[in-house]
Structure 1
Amino acid sequence: MNEEIVLSEILPIIAPIIVIQLILMTVALVLCAKAESTRGPKWVWVLIIIFVNLFGPIAFFIAGRRNEG
């Protein structure tokens, strides 16, 4: 019942999540920087993308970008 958590057991589970998070964050930040306009101030979206971990970039992709065209 008093088991120790070993990093070598957790790392294979956490590593893919970290990689996905970094990829999503990078793509969202690049798209936010290149966008002419967003729904709301860009600096707010940058903060959301950076600090709301996995859900921040997803929120930007869904709600932050304006469909231009």
Structure 2
Amino acid sequence: MSDFSQIKEYIPFLIPILIIQYGLMIAALIHIFRHQNYRFGNRILWVIITVVVNTIGPILYFTIGRGED
């Protein structure tokens, strides 16, 4: 079995995961740029964490980084 055919059978599972992952990242970035208050760190730190640690970064922002509105 070739590498492409192995990847091809996992695509139906990967697409929803990627959509959720990028959706969370976009939602976190929008929130970061619209709000000024953060519990920990600053805007630049949270943008870097959200983009570089793509899967866990947005979750970290929404759980511990998001300040009070």
TM-score, reference length from structure 1: 0.85
Structure 2 partner of 1:59:
60
Unaligned regions of 5+ residues in structure 2, if any? none
Structure 2 partner of 1:22:
22
What is the CA deviation profile of residues 1-28 of structure 1, one whole-angstrom value per residue up to 9, with x for unaligned ones? Answer: xx54422201111111100011000000
Equivalent pairs counted in the alignment come to 66
Unaligned regions of 5+ residues in structure 1, if any? none
TM-score, reference length from structure 2: 0.85
Task: Read off the aligned partner of 2:60 and give its amino acid letter.
Answer: A
Task: Read off the aligned partner of 1:67 and give its amino acid letter.
Answer: E
RMSD: 1.3
Structure holding more helix per residue: 2
Identity %: 33
Moved over 6 A (4+): none
Please identify, of 7-16 and 25-34, the stretch whose mean Cα deviation from structure 2 is larger. 7-16
Task: Read off the aligned partner of 2:68 and give its amino acid letter.
Answer: N
